[in-house]
Amino acid sequence: MTGKTMTEFGPPPWPAVTVRPDRPRVEGSTLHLSWTQSGGGPLFRHCHCFIRYPRQSLENLPPAIAWSVFSGLIASLYARHHQELTLHFPEPIPRMALAPWLDLHRCDNVVAGPLKESEAPGAPSTSEPEHIGILFGGGKDSLATLGLMGELFGYQRLTLLSCVFPERSRYLRTVEQRRDRHALGPIRGRTGVRVQKIISNLRCQIGEDASSRALHTGLYHALALPMTRQLGLELVTHSNEFNHYWTSTQPNRPRAGFARSRPEADDFLADALSRLLQQPLSIKNPNFCIGKDGAIRLLKERYPGLLTSLMMCESVTDPNQRWCGNCYKCFQYAIYRLALNLPDAGLDPQTFFAESEWVQDHLARASQAKVGQWLPELSSRASFPAFSHLFHQHPPDTLAKQLSGQAKAHFLALTRPFPREPHPATQAWMQAALDKLAPPRTRQLAAILDQHLPRETARQIQLPWGSHRSHIDYDAAIAPKTVAIETPDADAAFKL
């Protein structure tokens, strides 16, 4: 590696880096990726990682698919963190295994080779997918997607793609057991849905302070790519709520939130991967049209059996505990349980607000804040308007009547900074977003949403975004950037 610390390097983008990948190696159900690095910054602790797909054999995995996984995971991370990336592949790889990922991440700083041209026509997407994969984390959004897809297409068509890749290797087994015990096992028993785990130490290898620790949807699609082919998935869903997809946060300054998982990006990547896989493929985010609190309301009213398997907390501690009782996710669920009268799923608001260390740590800051002041430790920018609307509907003074003693006092202190303002879009579904998304069975999906959530027909929406306001314009088109991959003379630059 570089031999220097993050402090010595400073924040990315770091100086130019050269990466020489080894040929991807398959061992049973495991894909091994390794490479060497010269120059550049401390992006990875170690230049190797594995991705395991339990109960699957990868012996017939085409090399082009393996190289696409490397490109979507390793190459794109290097390109985003460095001023320039030079890739020396050990053999000619198809341009289509590399280029779409660089386009998705808008990386125009890559010199790569040897590449071979192998353009192929894309397989048309199907309006009636037989095999559907759901990227599933266990939270309210992916759980609501499971309920919707199960109702629209039947659970027998669904496969939950459960990615297990914590930040420390010692937690690999703990995270897997915890998700099995509290989410995957009960859901599989209730619905009969198929489960495919994807287990990797990729995040364990990423340097402590590298910005890529904030994961993006493209990484999940790259991790799942061998299963997309192996299971013949024609539709793969991810679940990110609509309020993350702002198109600007200041007047006359366009800035797209979650740009790499907008419908334009999903359609682009699905078309590129369908060419590589030579099979129909669509990528859709049903939650793109559902407000922040829409998913939890759908679960309560339409899919209550799934709600008992909700696992919002991302703790890596005791696999026997669904909730750690000491994080923002637990705080969020405790509020939902009080406001929406959710069934008991193992977290008691009275105990949480009275005894949680997380609550104790944030009391002083919340008590000193002004009403209407956004505190990042209590909510994300995207969540701020949703909580403001929730407390407009359900004033904290009223909710606090369900609590007593210290729990009541702590709850009122923590909710004090949130304004009681109406932002009805946070509990609605957006007609313009659904039109843009254009998922299979659009009409049936709209009919389900209409039964539980108000329909918002505006094509532009404004919401608070921390101390600013976010603007969501459904007529804006923010497509991936087509970038050129420089390929110098092989004898001069790529002599291996």
Ramachandran sector of residue 441 (left: φ over 0; alpha: ψ -120 to 50; beta: rest):
left
Please tell me the chain's helix, strand, coil percentages from 3-state DSSP, rounded to the nearest 5.
45, 20, 40
Say whether the peptide bond before residue 13 is cis (omega within 30 degrees of 0): yes
pLDDT in tens, the chain (496 residues): 444 554 566 778 899 999 999 999 999 999 999 999 999 998 999 999 999 999 999 999 999 999 999 999 999 999 989 999 999 999 999 999 999 999 999 999 999 999 998 766 666 667 789 999 999 999 999 999 999 999 999 999 999 999 998 888 889 999 999 999 999 999 999 999 999 999 999 999 998 766 554 467 888 999 999 999 999 999 999 999 888 898 988 777 788 889 999 999 999 999 999 999 999 999 999 999 999 899 999 999 999 999 989 999 988 778 999 999 999 999 999 999 999 999 888 899 999 999 999 999 999 999 899 988 888 888 888 889 999 999 999 999 999 999 999 999 999 999 999 999 999 999 999 999 999 999 999 999 999 999 999 999 999 999 987 777 889 999 988 878 788 788 765 434 443 2
Query: How high is the pLDDT of residue 495?
Result: 34
Phi, psi of 158 (to 5 degrees): -100, 145
Q: Residue 381 has what pLDDT?
A: 82
pLDDT confidence of residue 490: 46
The DSSP string of 75-112 is IHHHHHHBS-EEEEEEEEEEGGGTHHHHHHTT---EEE
| DSSP annotation of 459 | S
Q: Where are the alpha helices (DSSP H) in 278-426?
A: 294-301, 304-307, 328-340, 349-355, 357-368, 384-393, 396-399, 405-415
What is the value of pTM for the model shown? 0.94
pLDDT at 492 (0 to 100): 41
Domain with CATH 3.40.50 in the chain: 132-305+429-473
- The partner residues of 17 in beta bridges, in order of sequence, read 39, 85
Residue at 396: amino acid letter: P
Spatial contact of 71 and 218, defined as CB atoms under 8 Å apart: no
d(CA 79, CA 70): 13
Tokens in use for 15?
């100086």
Q: Which fold has domain 132-305+429-473?
A: Rossmann fold (3.40.50)
Q: Cα dihedral angle (471, 475, 478, 479), rounded to 10 degrees? A: 160
- Residue 482 is predicted with a pLDDT of 80
